[in-house]
């Protein structure tokens, strides 16, 4: 018999809405069961409706879908397919459902996560980013809110809405319209000149490490810590943020953070992107620290 061909086209009539997974960072994402047999034995999937609007067209969505359908990595949320609405006026993206949600909610609930497990998560994110880099993709929105938890020992990188391909003749990507930017995860060159590269993703990875070792506690949220430093009422946070970064202010070490882990973060936050480590070097350093933590 034919090997079970990966389902990539989902029929709307068999996609049964279960609940909303959040209007947050991914747009509106719903938990659905794809149940063609109609007996509730179908699989759970995460579905994002892609509504063409003034900012993004069906073409943009098809580009995101094409990007996602190429990825084959254990540390990147798996693409399952698309569902065209009747009349093909809109389409939905169907991704694997990760039952524990984002890292933010997970660490808030499971405080027992120890250093070794944090480093395991960091190593998996690093390997996912290394994979993206081999495909010349820059994520541009690496943050704990975009890391999903598959199990207590597996996390995956998600949300590729902002993913951009680096042109083959360049080492960075330039945005024309920096929209609602998560500047507190941004490298200085991204804040200043909207330049994004694998090295700006490394900066953001350092911020994700910080979020991890703060258990994503809202009191230590990168935005809150930065705003405390630059003052809450400034009119242009990005200008002030760039200034304090230039003056070598960085996010403080998380409480009880192992010194070697904080030094990893500081490497990622080198002002000059050339001095930041690459993801493969970061991965090796994390493995070394994990060995030492085991002893
Ligand atoms: C389809 C949108 C998308 C687009 C893209 O490009 C990459 C990933 C995703 C995505 C976004 C969210 C999820 C989720 C989840 O949110 N799961 C959960 C589980 C439990 C709780 C409490 N909250 C939440 N699972 N798989 C997901 C895939």
Question: What is the pTM assigned to this prediction?
Answer: 0.91
- Widest pairwise Cα distance in the chain: 66
Token reading at 39: 């007996």
pLDDT band at 217 (very low <50, low <70, confident <90, very high): very high
- 85 three-state secondary structure: coil
Ligand 1: residues within 6 Å at CB?
A: 21, 26, 29, 46, 48, 68, 77, 93, 95, 97-101, 105, 148, 158-160
Residue 201 near residue 97, CB atoms below 8 Å: no
For the CA of 98, the nearest atom of ligand 1: 25
For the CA of 64, the nearest atom of ligand 1: 6
- 156 three-state secondary structure: strand
Give whole-number Cα distances, 42 to 38, 45, 97, 242, in Å. 8, 9, 13, 50
Give whole-number Cα distances, 221 to 26, 127, 184, 242, 250, in Å. 19, 24, 9, 18, 13
What are the tens digits of pLDDT across the range 11-32? 999 999 999 987 665 568 899 9
What are the tens digits of pLDDT across the range 30-66? 999 999 999 999 999 999 888 777 767 778 778 778 8
The DSSP 8-state label assigned to residue 224 in this structure reads H
Complex ipTM: 0.98
pLDDT greater than 90 at residue 170: no
User: Residue 205's pLDDT is what?
Assistant: 98
Secondary structure E strands in 39-198: 43-50, 79-84, 91-96, 137-138, 147-151, 154-157, 164-165, 173-174, 195-196
Distance, CA of 250 to CA of 229 (rounded, Å): 10
What are the tens digits of pLDDT across the range 109-126? 887 788 999 999 999 999
Bridge partners, residue 149, by sequence: 155
Residues 6+ apart with CB under 8 A from 212: 103, 107, 118, 121, 122, 144
User: Residue 251's pLDDT is what?
Assistant: 98
Indicate the top mutation candidate among 27, 28, 46, 146 to test ligand 1's pocket, ranked by most ligand atoms within 8 A of CB.
Answer: 46
Ligand 1 centre distance from Cα of residue 98 (Å): 6
Ligand 1 centre distance from Cα of residue 263 (Å): 31
User: Residue 26's pLDDT is what?
Assistant: 59
């Amino acid at each position: 018999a034919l090997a079970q061909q990966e389902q990539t086209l989902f029929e709307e009539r068999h996609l049964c809405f279960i609940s909303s997974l959040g209007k947050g960072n991914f747009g509106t994402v719903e938990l659905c069961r794809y149940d063609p047999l109609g007996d509730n034995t179908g699989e759970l999937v995460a579905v994002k409706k892609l509504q063409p609007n003034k900012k993004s067209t069906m073409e943009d969505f098809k580009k995101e879908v094409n990007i996602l359908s190429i990825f084959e990595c254990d540390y990147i949320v798996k693409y399952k397919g698309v569902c065209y609405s009747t009349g093909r006026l809109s389409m939905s993206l169907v991704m694997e459902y990760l039952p524990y949600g984002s890292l933010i909610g997970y660490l808030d609930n499971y405080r027992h996560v120890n250093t070794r497990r944090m480093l395991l998560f960091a190593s998996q994110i690093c390997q996912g980013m290394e994979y993206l880099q081999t495909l010349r993709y820059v994520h541009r929105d690496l943050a704990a809110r975009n890391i999903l938890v598959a199990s207590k020992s597996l996390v995956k990188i998600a949300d590729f809405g902002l993913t951009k391909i680096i042109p083959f003749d360049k080492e960075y990507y330039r945005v024309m319209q920096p929209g609602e930017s998560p500047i507190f995860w941004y490298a200085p060159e991204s804040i200043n000149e909207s330049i994004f590269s694998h090295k700006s993703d490394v900066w953001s990875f350092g911020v994700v490490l910080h979020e991890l070792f703060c258990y994503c506690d809202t009191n230590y949220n990168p935005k809150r810590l930065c705003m405390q430093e630059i003052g809450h009422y400034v009119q242009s946070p990005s200008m002030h943020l760039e200034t304090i970064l230039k003056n070598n202010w960085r996010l403080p070490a998380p409480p009880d953070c192992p010194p070697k882990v904080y030094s990893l973060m500081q490497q990622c936050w080198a002002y000059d992107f050339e001095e930041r480590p690459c993801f493969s070097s970061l991965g090796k350093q994390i493995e070394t620290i994990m060995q030492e933590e085991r002893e």
